[in-house]
Amino acid sequence: MDGVLPPRIPVSAVDGRRPRAPVMMDVARLAGVSHQTVSRVVNSHANVRAETRQRVLDAMRELNYQPNSAARTLVTRRSNTIGIVTVDSTLFGPASMVYGVEQAARAAGYFVSVASINTLTQRAVRDAVSRLEEQSVEGIVGVVPHDEAVHALVAVPSGVITVAVGVGSGAAVPFVGVDNVAGAVVATRHLLAQGHRTVHHIGGPVGYPDARERRQGWRRALTEAGAPTPDALTGDWSARSGYDLGRVLAADRAVTAVFCGNDQMALGLLRALFESGRRIPADVSVVGFDDVPEAAYMIPPLSTVKQDFTEMGRLSIDLFVRMLGRPPGSDPVRILLTPTLIPRVSSRSAA
Amino acid sequence: MDGVLPPRIPVSAVDGRRPRAPVMMDVARLAGVSHQTVSRVVNSHANVRAETRQRVLDAMRELNYQPNSAARTLVTRRSNTIGIVTVDSTLFGPASMVYGVEQAARAAGYFVSVASINTLTQRAVRDAVSRLEEQSVEGIVGVVPHDEAVHALVAVPSGVITVAVGVGSGAAVPFVGVDNVAGAVVATRHLLAQGHRTVHHIGGPVGYPDARERRQGWRRALTEAGAPTPDALTGDWSARSGYDLGRVLAADRAVTAVFCGNDQMALGLLRALFESGRRIPADVSVVGFDDVPEAAYMIPPLSTVKQDFTEMGRLSIDLFVRMLGRPPGSDPVRILLTPTLIPRVSSRSAA
DNA sequence: CTGTTAGCGCCTTCAG
DNA sequence: CTGAAGGCGCTAACAG
């Protein structure tokens, strides 16, 4: 990140294998015009006679001409590319958001460059951002659901518009997220409505806005209902942690309802409950969060709070485009989606 | 794809908000050298006195200089970028492979540009490749586990080195994949070894090399063992299809062992069996394929054949680098990993 | 060891 | 409506 580039494979290794691609001048010659006119056609400028335009288009096709984006970027100072910084991109949520970003970015005429990080440190995020900047990206979409990472994101030099997605609802950058509090409230109330005295919670790890907000919502719903608030358990989003913590809950006969911070942990919990002989939902009701594709096929089908990750990714590009049109210092726009409860068997009333 | 670029947000919208970044010349002036010397430092050339080099480095740091990759690409004709074409990138396998590719590409000094497609047609792949070429990528990694898509990939103009990953073991491009046949054989034999008369199969959809090869392996193992070969059922990789087909199998008391083409379908199958009251593994044994993180937490823990997707992604970059060093017409290199059986409860001997 | 010169392919500005 | 000139930021080739 100090400007010194890493060593690279020598040019000689690639040289010669690449037949020089046709350039604008080649097209111009073939069409009998100047390269400038070709440029106009390529960029859909007005002021080109229809017939000339056609000749140029024919020439382009014949030569299989492809504009050189490096040259274009150099002179316009517009790279036409958006960068994505992502963590945990193998998980369904992040992967879906990245997918949504990519689709929308393409539709908006942008290339997409990704930089994934594997440690959740500010430094890692800064490095990723730095690499993206080196490519002169015009915007950065952060799919980084962690406080540290978001903090690093707000520190991005102002030349690049930065938006975040799936980072809770309190970020200091423009973002699109889901209303975690509302989602957790709905889930908890739903459980309470089945007649449970209270609802336990297995939440995500410290430092994750999503985890914090869901815990908040859960606690709020309990308080509002006048139900006792048990200690929340803290997992790490994995099925393993859901299982481990689930064994603790399963051992406690007072536990009759559990709201999990995500579906993976709920999966682990379901197994822990199953193994200890507790019937679901007869003895214990469970609700997850996310609605991963597998949720409907767990044993039993998992009630959960659905969020549309792909759509969120798409919206982040809308957001980016919107920020593009705003004067530099203006307030960050926020888009907050409301998640929906998907009731399935795991929380069905025992009655 | 005809060379005419899509209309873009007017430059005026972004102009002015970007403080002109320092260029090489600025660094040179501050360090009191020519811009060429700066270039030498940036590219780690020899022939720069240590002291001069340090002055330049200091100047770079002070100005927070970042090399402009567009300019660099323009003159070197090397974009330093690798493109990824991907389908179904929200699923664990593809997402992990993409992740592996990104990590390794970065380590090798490359930027990564992604183009995901949502329909498995040759045309979609061609378009994606075309977009990537427009960015002058030096290589393309295809994460496209389908025949049509692979075919489209081999047709990529020879200027760009193309490799594939996770596309079975018969592709006509250099690839890294897993030995599906071996994996399926191991899984099937394992089931047979538990004393089952034969093994049923729920496979992936037509047109997927992975599905085809696993089915082959399954059939081969049965034949070699002299076991009867039931008709294979064909799903679509989803838990839903596993469930639907699983209900059919569950209804047949002769079914005592099932090998599934992937873990999602196995999940659906587990539920279908559970619902029909068949105990696992006492009545029916099940083995999946992939070893997704959730496999160990299903009910019961799913035996499966593990493949290391991330590693495969990484290896595809090794492969790319290796192809770079070979003369143009040379034979495509293939890397085939051997998957490992992970026996868990779902296939434990009833004895 | 360091500086100078000449483009890379394209777009912007200004002429015609 | 079309063409000519100039330069984007950088690196390769050659001087010195």
Residue B275 vs residue B35, higher pLDDT: B275
pLDDT band at residue B29 using 50, 70 and 90 as cut-offs = confident
Number of domains in chain A: 3
Decide if pLDDT at B153 tops 70. yes
Instruction: Give contacts of A91 with chain B, Cβ < 8 Å.
Output: 95
Decide if pLDDT at B314 tops 90. yes
Last residue of a domain, one of A23, A39, A67: A67
Same structural domain, A318 and A171: yes
A68 touches strand D (CB under 7 A): no
Q: Are strands B285-290 and B303-306 parallel, antiparallel or unpaired?
A: parallel
Of B4, B69, B243, the CB nearest to A136: B69
Rounded distance, CA A90 to CA B92, Å? 6
The three-state secondary structure class of B299 is: coil
pLDDT band at residue A13 using 50, 70 and 90 as cut-offs = very low
Q: Is the peptide bond before A300 cis (omega within 30 degrees of 0)?
A: yes
Last residue of a domain, one of B67, B92, B110: B67
pLDDT attached to residue A31: 86
DSSP code, position A208: -
Decide if pLDDT at B206 tops 90. yes
A134 falls within a domain:
yes
Rounded distance, CA A262 to CA A201, Å? 11
- Mean pLDDT score, B65-78: 87
Q: What is the pLDDT of residues A215-254, one digit of tens each?
A: 999 999 999 999 999 999 999 999 999 999 999 999 999 9
Same structural domain, A194 and A283: yes
Is B41 close to A4, i.e. CB distance below 8 A?
Answer: yes
pLDDT attached to residue A314: 97
pLDDT attached to residue B16: 40
Percent with pLDDT over 70 in chain A: 92
pLDDT attached to residue A2: 58
Of B44, B76, B130, the CB nearest to A11: B76
Same structural domain, A238 and A167: no
Q: Could you list the residue range(s) of the whole structural domain that residue A87 is in?
A: 80-178+309-337
Decide if pLDDT at B18 tops 50. no
Instruction: Give contacts of B274 with chain A, Cβ < 8 Å.
Output: 299
The tokens for A39 are 């440029």
The CB-based long-range contact list for B35-41 (8 Å cut-off, 24+ gap) reads B41/A4
Same structural domain, A189 and A220: yes
Of A106, A240, A293, the CB nearest to B297: A240
* Alpha carbon distances (Å) from A55 to A33, A65, A176, A326: 9, 13, 46, 40
A54 falls within a domain:
yes
Closest approach of chain B CAs to the CA of A223, in angstroms? 33
pLDDT attached to residue A325: 79
Last residue of a domain, one of A67, A90, A112: A67
The mean predicted confidence, pLDDT, of chain B is 90
Same structural domain, A119 and A209: no
The tokens for B56 are 């330049």
* Alpha carbon distances (Å) from A322 to A83, A267, A332, B8: 17, 39, 10, 14
Same structural domain, A172 and A184: no
Q: What is the pLDDT of residues B75-94, one digit of tens each?
A: 888 888 999 999 988 999 99
A1 falls within a domain:
no
Amino acid at A282: A
pLDDT attached to residue B351: 53
Same structural domain, B100 and B218: no
Same structural domain, B39 and B89: no
A75 falls within a domain:
no
A270 falls within a domain:
yes
∠ at Cα A306 (B286, B292), nearest 5°?
30
Rounded distance, CA A257 to CA A62, Å? 68
- Mean pLDDT score, B283-295: 98
B223 touches strand D (CB under 7 A): no
Rounded distance, CA A148 to CA A208, Å? 9
Decide if pLDDT at A79 tops 50. yes
Give me the CATH number covering residue B102.
3.40.50.2300
Mutate to test the interface with B, among A88, A135, A158, A326 (most CBs of B within 10 A): A135
- Mean pLDDT score, B319-330: 81
| Cβ neighbours around B61 below 10 Å, total | 12
**Nearest nucleotide by C1' from B34 CA?**
C3
B73 falls within a domain:
no
**Which segment of A169-173, B105-109, B279-283 scores lowest on mean pLDDT?**
A169-173
CA of B118 to C1' of C12 (A): 38
Rounded distance, CA B277 to CA B265, Å? 19
pLDDT band at residue B7 using 50, 70 and 90 as cut-offs = low
Rounded distance, CA A19 to CA B14, Å? 36
Decide if pLDDT at B130 tops 70. yes
Decide if pLDDT at A32 tops 70. yes
A5 falls within a domain:
no
Q: Are strands A139-143 and A81-87 parallel, antiparallel or unpaired?
A: parallel
Rounded distance, CA B137 to CA A146, Å? 32
**Which segment of A89-98, A277-286, A333-342, B65-74 scores lowest on mean pLDDT?**
B65-74
pLDDT attached to residue A313: 97
Prediction pTM value: 0.92
Same structural domain, B146 and B27: no
Same structural domain, B141 and B35: no
- Mean pLDDT score, A26-36: 84
Residue B114 belongs to what H/E stretch? Answer: strand B111-117
B75 falls within a domain:
no
Decide if pLDDT at A1 tops 50. no
Same structural domain, B169 and B206: no
Give me the CATH number covering residue A22.
1.10.260.40
pLDDT attached to residue A210: 96
Is A59 buried (19+), middle (13-18) or exposed (0-12) by CB count in 10 A?
Answer: buried
Decide if pLDDT at B4 tops 50. yes
- Mean pLDDT score, B324-338: 83
**Nearest nucleotide by C1' from B49 CA?**
C1
Length in residues, chain B: 351
- Mean pLDDT score, B249-265: 97
Percent with pLDDT over 70 in chain B: 92
pLDDT attached to residue B287: 98
Same structural domain, A258 and A113: no
Name the residue closest to C5, CA to C1'. B36
Q: What share of chain A is helix, strand, coil (3-state, %, to 5)?
A: 45, 15, 40
- Mean pLDDT score, A38-45: 84
Q: What is the pLDDT of residues B171-183, one digit of tens each?
A: 888 999 999 999 9
